[in-house]
Structure 1
Amino acid sequence: MIKSADPFSAAEPTGNTMTTLDPNTAGFIDGNPVATFVLDMNHRVVSWNKACEVLTGIPAASLIGTSDQWRAFYPTKRPVMADLILDGMNEADLRYFYQEKFHPSTLIPGACEAEDFFPDFGNGGCWLFFTAAPIRDAEGNVVGAIETLQDFTERRKAEAALRDREALLAQILQSTTVATVVIDQEHQIIHWNKACEALTGQQAESAMVTRDHWRPPSPEGRPFLSDLVLEGKIEDDFHRYFCGDLRQSTLIKGAYETEANWKNDRGEEKWLYLTAAPLISSNGELIGAIETMQDVTERRLAEESLRRSEERYRELSITDAMTQLYNTRHFSAMVGKEIERAERYRRPLTLLIADVDNFKAINDTYGHSEGDRVLVGLAEVIRLSLRSTDSAYRYGGEEFAILMPEVMVRDGAKLAERVRKQFGDRQFEMPDGTVLRSTVSIGVTQFQPGDDTKSLFCRADDGMYQAKRRGKNCVVIVEPPSGP
């Protein structure tokens, strides 16, 4: 604000004479790089500085001493803000001319400021930020008004361009069929697209500007992957909240991806493929994170179905169809592995070979289907007798093998005796009403260093034949031969 005892000359203009400022004050205003003009109490221009000439294109000489200041800004005559200041800054008048674009200055009492577009100003219009304030003398009386103008066109264009870019970004996010969420530095949601609404069932209005973006995807309160990216400690915290593998993106620096299981409010289970990446400003500052979510449930179900199918086929390939024990092919593979493990770690391994007694007579008397029932019965007894680490096989027609890792031969013989007794107690009712009881002969031996599949099997098999020769329905232990 300019404050002097008498900033205007006392003389009234006559002819071509114009009221002028005090030379010192006039020089200050004229040298001001901000476009500035001053009106006296009669609304006449008493100062129109060089910056104002450059901004408006109107020379000071054509306006000094006149009340034509409006010509620089408007096509028809109307007051400028400095005029309204001189008239007492009536709010109704300010609102009439400037609508809601004005507001009182927070710096200068009695001053007002506004920002407006002037379509007839310059080439193609211009945005101006202008302030007007009263000029008071030493006694505080209003003796004039001063107005400053700043061209904000470029800033407005930049703001418009920024809004356009933000609108374009929002449109891109809304248009993509991939569920996308963006959070700011405070973990608050600033974008939640329609695909996100469709996937989660949560509308954008209820998600925006909240930290509740884990609901409904994770009712238990698990953060999103983007939260962990934003915190910068994703590799430390990932396994606190997620199962599965965390992978670094091969496309975006600092981005990660994973697959997570999610159950919605209806109890439906889904698998989501998640990607999260940091958002970096032009000056390298972390300003947020973006996350995408894709429903890969169908793919996961297909993969699981394929896995189960492959597992089933694998089981079928190593399983005897009738007894549901492992078959000879699998026995050949497993006995070699168990021998190798026992050799390497010097651990015990016991092998049992069992054979149904008089099985040919059963087939000849009652038929093969009834004979098969007897084999299935023995398989059931064996299966119920095994530990979780043991495995049983149908090795031949009526011959069975049992591998018992970490078991000494005497303990293996106890299991063999249990199988022998329980099988002997079973009754098989034949079609003619006859009740059949069958027995089994079992040979037992233990691995010794230097054994291979053949030597280990032959000792157990020899034990089974010894049991046959001893009258059948018994268990025979064959100790490994003593060393030299």
Structure 2
Amino acid sequence: MESAPGLQPDFTDVVNNLLTIGIAVVDRRFSVVMWNRFMELNSNVRAEEILGKNLFDAFPELNRNWLEKKIRSCMVLKTASYSSWQQRPYLFRFKAPAIFAQDNEFMYQDASIFPVRDRHGQVEGACIVVHDVTELAEAKRLLDVSLEQTLDLEESNQRDGLTGLYNRKYFDEQITQEVQSARRNGRPLTLVMIDIDHFKHVNDTLGHPAGDAVLRSISTQMCSTLRASDSLCRYGGEEFALILPQLRIEHADVILERLRSAVENTSIAIDDSTKVSVTISMGAAPLAEGVTPGQLVNMADEALFASKRAGRNCITYYNGKSN
């Protein structure tokens, strides 16, 4: 590096007085030979107190096995080594800057380790460079919190408050996406509309809290029998919509019969002395060529009405097959 005539900069003095970057140099025995102003201020250890002392003796909280290996590797291989705050939050356990101290106990750090050579080019030690990245880490934390809150809000907007199932809004969006995906990938899709039989009678005789208990219990029971890829939604009132991706209607019978039987055999406790059992009716329709999401819903609804006309507690398929 060239300098202006008459100007001979003392870079050692510059490095020693840096306030924004930490510089610590150790020799082959890990004795400290340089400790700059940044390190003094953040460690509360003055240079004259640590120079000539073993780094690990002075800072027993350092991860000795890891750092010693890094330093030795740097000196032997004569190459630099890096450590990100995301891999290891900090190297030295310095307190966080005051502005971030409320949410962060320690300073987040990026660290670099470089070989230090003598005038003959021989590696005689290592230089540890510490960057305070607490501001960056805090910004990342706040961004993550904001993202998580956004996702939680989005999730809550997609869920039915009573049953925890996906709601009608989610269903309307999901059935459109599933139809598009099935067409794009040439895969089957089956839609099932489900209705709790005689649900009005439960509400009228036992009260709306009992009806709510039935809805919650049946929702839990149905979810426990489905595949992870299936989407069960509360369509409205006592009606549900079940999206079965990658499943032909002729293969849906096993799943739907298991669903019907599970509900029929569930005893729901309303209070200490009252239990109730209900059944469900189902109508299933396959996605056919040229059928829109709305038409698919109508087809499944038509099959559901056929199940009700057939006496309820059964499954009707849009092609006319009935169980």
TM over 0.5: yes
- How far the C-alpha of 1:475 sits from its partner, in A, is 1.0
Q: Which residue of 1 aligns with 2:134?
A: 295
Q: Which residue of 2 aligns with 1:127?
A: none
Q: 1:260 aligns with which of 87, 103, 125?
A: 87
Q: 1:305 aligns with which of 134, 141, 145?
A: 145
Q: Is the 8 A contact 1:271 1:300 kept in 2?
A: no
The verdict on how the C-alpha distance between 1:184 and 1:409 changes in structure 2, with shifts beyond 3 A counting, is farther
Q: Is the 8 A contact 1:464 1:476 kept in 2?
A: yes
- How far the C-alpha of 1:470 sits from its partner, in A, is 0.6
Q: Secondary structure at the match of 1:392?
A: strand
Q: Deviations over 1:422-448 (max 9, x none)?
A: 111122344594432111001112222
Query: 2:167 & 2:280 partners in 1: Cα distance?
Result: 19
The verdict on how the C-alpha distance between 1:447 and 1:262 changes in structure 2, with shifts beyond 3 A counting, is same
Query: 1:275 & 1:356 partners in 2: Cα distance?
Result: 62
Query: 2:116 & 2:272 partners in 1: Cα distance?
Result: 86
Query: 1:459 & 1:271 partners in 2: Cα distance?
Result: 62
Q: 2:63 aligns with which of 202, 216, 223?
A: 216
- How far the C-alpha of 1:220 sits from its partner, in A, is 8.2
Q: Secondary structure at the match of 2:133?
A: strand
The verdict on how the C-alpha distance between 1:207 and 1:431 changes in structure 2, with shifts beyond 3 A counting, is closer
Query: 2:297 & 2:307 partners in 1: Cα distance?
Result: 15
Code of the residue aligned with 1:390 in structure 2: it is: D
Query: 1:403 & 1:387 partners in 2: Cα distance?
Result: 11
Structure 1 residue 395 and structure 2 residue 222: aligned? no
Q: 2:166 aligns with which of 302, 318, 326?
A: 326
Q: Deviations over 1:69-120 (max 9, x none)?
A: xxxxxxxxxxxxxxxxxxxxxxxxxxxxxxxxxxxxxxxxxxxxxxxxxxxx
Q: 1:317 aligns with which of 157, 166, 179?
A: 157
Q: Is the 8 A contact 1:180 1:195 kept in 2?
A: no
- Equivalent runs, 1:45-444 vs 2, <5 Å: 165-170=11-16, 172-173=17-18, 176=19, 178=20, 180-181=22-23, 191-192=34-35, 193-194=39-40, 197=43, 205-207=53-55, 215-216=62-63, 219=66, 223=70, 231=79, 259-262=86-89, 272-274=108-110, 290-295=129-134, 298-430=138-270, 433-444=273-284
Q: Is the 8 A contact 2:111 2:128 kept in 1?
A: no
Q: Which residue of 2 aligns with 1:74?
A: none
Query: 2:218 & 2:276 partners in 1: Cα distance?
Result: 13
Q: Secondary structure at the match of 2:257?
A: helix
The verdict on how the C-alpha distance between 1:183 and 1:328 changes in structure 2, with shifts beyond 3 A counting, is farther
The alignment-based identity, stated in percent, is 23
Q: Is the 8 A contact 2:26 2:34 kept in 1?
A: no
Q: Secondary structure at the match of 1:260?
A: coil
Query: 1:408 & 1:421 partners in 2: Cα distance?
Result: 21
- How far the C-alpha of 1:373 sits from its partner, in A, is 0.9
- How far the C-alpha of 1:408 sits from its partner, in A, is 1.9
Q: Is the 8 A contact 2:213 2:270 kept in 1?
A: no
Q: Which residue of 2 aligns with 1:447?
A: 287
Code of the residue aligned with 1:322 in structure 2: it is: L
The two structures have a TM-score, normalised by structure 2, of 0.70
Query: 2:213 & 2:111 partners in 1: Cα distance?
Result: 57
- How far the C-alpha of 1:290 sits from its partner, in A, is 4.0
Q: Is the 8 A contact 2:191 2:286 kept in 1?
A: yes
Query: 2:173 & 2:286 partners in 1: Cα distance?
Result: 18
- How far the C-alpha of 1:181 sits from its partner, in A, is 3.5
Q: Secondary structure at the match of 2:210?
A: helix
Query: 1:331 & 1:218 partners in 2: Cα distance?
Result: 54
Query: 2:256 & 2:106 partners in 1: Cα distance?
Result: 49
Q: Secondary structure at the match of 1:389?
A: coil
- How far the C-alpha of 1:191 sits from its partner, in A, is 4.4
Query: 2:308 & 2:116 partners in 1: Cα distance?
Result: 82
Q: Is the 8 A contact 1:181 1:292 kept in 2?
A: no
Query: 2:151 & 2:312 partners in 1: Cα distance?
Result: 39
Code of the residue aligned with 1:272 in structure 2: it is: Y
Which structure has more relative contact order (CA 8 Å, sep 6+)? It is 2
Q: Deviations over 1:210-269 (max 9, x none)?
A: xx9x95298487849xx6xx737x8xxx8xxx7xxxxxxxxxxxxxx7743438899x99
Q: Which residue of 1 aligns with 2:3?
A: none
Q: Is the 8 A contact 1:261 1:271 kept in 2?
A: no
User: Could you say which structure has the larger radius of gyration?
Assistant: 1
The verdict on how the C-alpha distance between 1:420 and 1:435 changes in structure 2, with shifts beyond 3 A counting, is same
Query: 2:174 & 2:69 partners in 1: Cα distance?
Result: 44
The verdict on how the C-alpha distance between 1:341 and 1:182 changes in structure 2, with shifts beyond 3 A counting, is farther
Q: Deviations over 1:291-312 (max 9, x none)?
A: 4143355544434333332222
Q: Is the 8 A contact 2:27 2:33 kept in 1?
A: no
The two structures have a TM-score, normalised by structure 1, of 0.49
Query: 2:256 & 2:225 partners in 1: Cα distance?
Result: 9
Q: Is the 8 A contact 2:166 2:234 kept in 1?
A: yes
**Count of residues in correspondence between the two structures:** 287
The verdict on how the C-alpha distance between 1:457 and 1:292 changes in structure 2, with shifts beyond 3 A counting, is same
